[in-house]
Amino acid sequence: MRKPRLLTSRLHFFEANNYSNSMSVHIAAKPGEIAETILLPGDPLRAKFIAETFLENARRYNEVRSMFGYTGTYKGKPVSVQGTGMGIPSISIYVNELFRDYGVKRAIRIGTAGSIRESLKIRDLVIALSACTDSGANNIRFGGRNYAPTASFSLVKQAWDSAVSRGWKPAVGPVVSSDMFYTEDPEEWKLWANFGCLCVEMETAELYTLAAKYGREALSLLTISDSLISHEITSAEERQTAFTRMMEVALETAIS
């Protein structure tokens, strides 16, 4: 009996089994269904809320793995919103495919973070200027060399101007993209805080790195959802639907 041919990669597996007729493995959109500017919430239900609340004529182009993606218009301009999941490995999959396969030019993460500064309170807005990380992803990419993932200045300025024009004053500075939500050392955040980091989240370093690789623009807007100092925390429902200041600033930045 003839032995089956061994497939050399996971991509070959999907191609050989005609897993999807879309342009990529994890996103089911057809060519032209995703706008050049996209918002990237980690939570797919936040993507659904944004599409239903802020976008006109929103159409869902993706529901693979329940990671919802939509395209509509905001003030007459096309904008997409795509859930990315939690952590660097997950956002890496979606951002690689969005940049490489769908021609996305500007990506704005809209996520939540834990404050590690006394001055940063629940529901405060943060513009991530750069991202430190304990992830091994860039160690693999750069062969143990250090890389400094940084936001696109034009998007930083546009987001700042948009927030200030509404009477809001975001905190601007470095954040920490952590690989682990539950760490072995509960005091680890203090080292990052001592070096000026504002908050901890799980995706920004990868977004900024991939934007640099593909020559695209990227920004991470974060809302403080909990505090490692005061131990306050918001509800899951609030994290999905109530952080509208961040959403409004992101949308205004997206069409600027």
- The CATH number of residue 44's host domain is 3.40.50.1580
Domain assignment of residue 170, yes or no: yes
Residue 168 CA to its chain's centroid (Å):
22
Per the structure block, which two tokens stand in for 230? 């005061």
Q: Please count the other Cβ atoms lying within 10 Å of the Cβ belonging to residue 96.
A: 16
Asked if residue 233 lies in contact with residue 226, where contact means CB atoms within 8 angstroms, the answer is: yes
Describe the crossing of helices 88-102 and 204-214 by its angle, rounded to 10 degrees: 20
The number of folded domains in the chain is 1
What H or E segment, with its residue span, contains residue 72?
strand 69-74
pLDDT at position 242 is: 64
Q: 80 vs 5, 22, 138, 191, CA distance in Å?
A: 40, 17, 28, 37
Domain assignment of residue 85, yes or no: yes
pLDDT at position 234 is: 87
pLDDT at position 20 is: 47
What H or E segment, with its residue span, contains residue 227?
strand 217-227
Q: Please count the other Cβ atoms lying within 10 Å of the Cβ belonging to residue 154.
A: 13
- Return the DSSP state at 3: P
Indicate the length of the chain as a whole number.
256
What H or E segment, with its residue span, contains residue 201?
strand 199-201
Domain assignment of residue 51, yes or no: yes
pLDDT at position 17 is: 42
Sign of CA pseudo-dihedral 96, 102, 106, 108: negative
Domain assignment of residue 2, yes or no: no
| Structural domain range at position 85 | 21-254
CA dist., res. 64 & res. 83, Å (int): 11
Domain assignment of residue 10, yes or no: no
Reduced to 3 states (helix: H, G, I; strand: E, B; else coil), residue 73 is strand
Per the structure block, which two tokens stand in for 107? 């990506």
pLDDT at position 240 is: 65
> Known catalytic residues?
226
Domain assignment of residue 56, yes or no: yes
Domain assignment of residue 8, yes or no: no
Domain assignment of residue 114, yes or no: yes
Per-residue pLDDT of the chain (256 residues; tens, 9 = 90+): 444 344 344 544 444 444 445 678 899 999 999 999 999 999 999 999 999 999 999 999 999 999 999 999 999 999 999 999 999 999 999 999 999 999 999 999 999 999 999 999 999 999 999 999 999 999 999 999 999 999 999 999 999 999 999 999 999 999 999 999 998 998 999 999 999 999 999 999 999 999 999 999 999 999 999 999 999 998 877 776 668 999 999 999 999 9
